[in-house]
Amino acid sequence: MVHTALALLALQQPVDTAYTTKIRELTTEPRFNTELTDHLPADTRVPTPLKVLGYVPGTVGHLSYVADITRYFRALDDASPRVKVFDLGKSDEGRPMIVAAIADSATIAQLDHYRDITAALADPRRLTADSAQRLIAAGKPIYYATGSIHSPETGSPEMLMELAYRLAVEETPFIRQIRDSVITLITPVTEVDGRDRMVDTYRYRKANKNIGPGLIYWGRYTAHDNNRDGIVMSQVLTQTMMKTFFAWHPTVLHDLHESVPFLYTSTGTGPYNRELDPIVISEWNELAFQEITALTSRGLPGVWTHDFYDGWTPNYMFWVANGHNSIGRFYETYTSRGADCHTVKLPERQTSIEWFRPNPPLNGVRWCIRNNINYQQSALLIALNYMARNGHRYLDQFYRKGVRAVERGRAKDGPNAFLIPANQARPVEAANLVNLLRFHGIEVRRADQPFKAGGADIAAGDYIVPLDQPYGPLAKSYFSKQDYGANDPPPYDDTGWTLQYVRNVALSPINDTTVLHAPATLMTADARVKGQVSGIRGAAAYLVAPTTESGLIQFRFALRDVRMWASEDSFSVDRRSFARGTTIIDGSAQARIGQAAESLGLNAVGVAAIPQVAKHELDVPKIALVHSWLNTQNEGWVRYAFDVLGIPYRYLSVQQLKNRELLKQFNVLVLPYVSNNAQQIVNGLPMNGPPIPWRRTALTPNLGGLDSTDDVRPGIGL
| pLDDT of 596 strictly over 80 | yes
pLDDT score, position 549: 96
Angle at 219 between CA 675 and CA 94, to 5 degrees: 165
Spatial CA neighbour of 104 closest among 47, 42, 175: 175
Question: Mind giving me the DSSP string for 26-84?
Answer: HSSSGGG--TTTS--B--SSSPPHHHHHSS-TT-TT----HHHHHHHHHHHHHH-TTEE
Give the chain's domain count.
4
Q: Return all residues near 356 (Cβ < 8 A) that are at least 6 apart.
A: 304, 305, 306, 307
Same domain, 149 and 268: yes
| pLDDT of 570 strictly over 70 | yes
Spatial CA neighbour of 257 closest among 367, 374, 347, 152: 152
Exposure pattern of 229-241 as b/e (b: 16+ CB <10 Å)?
Answer: bbbebbbbbbebb
Same domain, 217 and 260: yes
pLDDT one-digit tens code per residue, 512-525: 999 999 999 999 99
pLDDT one-digit tens code per residue, 136-192: 999 999 999 999 999 999 999 999 999 999 999 999 999 999 999 999 999 999 999
In a domain, 30, yes or no: no
Query: Which of 522, 546, 564 corresponds to the end of one domain?
Result: 522
Same domain, 508 and 542: no
The residues pairing with 90 across neighbouring beta strands, listed in sequence order, are 96
In a domain, 343, yes or no: yes
Beta strand pairing call for 508-510 and 463-466: unpaired
Same domain, 165 and 92: yes
pLDDT-derived band at 574 (thresholds 50, 70, 90) equals very high
Same domain, 142 and 205: yes
Exposure pattern of 515-547 as b/e (b: 16+ CB <10 Å)?
Answer: bbebebeebeeebebebebebeeebebbbbbeb
Mean pLDDT of the residues in the chain? 97
CA 488 to chain CA centroid, nearest Å: 26
Query: Which of 376, 407, 438 corresponds to the end of one domain?
Result: 407
Neighbours of 134 (CB within 10 A): 12
Same domain, 224 and 306: yes
| pLDDT of 193 strictly over 70 | yes
Phi-psi map region of 411: left, alpha, beta (phi>0 left; psi -120 to 50 alpha): beta
| pLDDT of 489 strictly over 70 | yes
d(CA 121, CA 486): 39
Same domain, 477 and 602: no
In a domain, 527, yes or no: no
- Please state the φ and ψ torsions of residue 389, each to the nearest 5 degrees: -80, -15
pTM, whole model, 2 decimals? Answer: 0.97
Q: Return all residues near 538 (Cβ < 8 A) that are at least 6 apart.
A: 587, 590, 606
pLDDT score, position 3: 53
- What are the CA-CA distances from residue 1 to residues 40, 377, 379, 397, 560 (Å)? 10, 15, 17, 37, 71
d(CA 167, CA 162): 9
| pLDDT of 2 strictly over 60 | no
pLDDT score, position 336: 75
In a domain, 550, yes or no: yes
Same domain, 117 and 67: yes
| pLDDT of 542 strictly over 60 | yes
Give kind and range of the element (H or E) at residue 118: helix 111-121
pLDDT-derived band at 677 (thresholds 50, 70, 90) equals confident
d(CA 33, CA 375): 7
CATH of the domain at 398: 3.40.630.10
pLDDT score, position 561: 97
In a domain, 40, yes or no: no
pLDDT score, position 243: 99
pLDDT score, position 411: 98
- Mean pLDDT score, 598-604: 98
Q: DSSP assignment, residue 629?
A: S
Same domain, 421 and 546: no
Q: DSSP assignment, residue 371?
A: H
Same domain, 450 and 563: no
Domain ranges, residue 545 = 532-617
- Please state the φ and ψ torsions of residue 386, each to the nearest 5 degrees: -65, -40
Query: Which of 601, 617, 633 corresponds to the end of one domain?
Result: 617
In a domain, 19, yes or no: no
d(CA 104, CA 40): 19
Same domain, 196 and 322: yes
| pLDDT of 643 strictly over 70 | yes
Same domain, 570 and 440: no
In a domain, 164, yes or no: yes
Q: For helices 66-79 and 155-169, give the axis angle rounded to 10 degrees.
A: 10
Ordered strands of the 445-447 beta sheet = 508-510, 417-420, 463-466, 445-447, 520-522
Angle at 39 between CA 33 and CA 40, to 5 degrees: 135
- Mean pLDDT score, 65-75: 99
Spatial CA neighbour of 218 closest among 277, 173, 151: 151
CATH of the domain at 538: 3.30.70
pLDDT-derived band at 8 (thresholds 50, 70, 90) equals low
pLDDT score, position 223: 97
pLDDT one-digit tens code per residue, 499-516: 999 999 999 999 999 999
pLDDT-derived band at 4 (thresholds 50, 70, 90) equals low
Is residue 361 within 8 A of residue 346, CB to CB? The reply is yes
d(CA 330, CA 254): 5
| pLDDT of 450 strictly over 60 | yes
Spatial CA neighbour of 76 closest among 67, 85, 68: 85
Longest dimension (CA), the chain: 95
d(CA 17, CA 6): 13
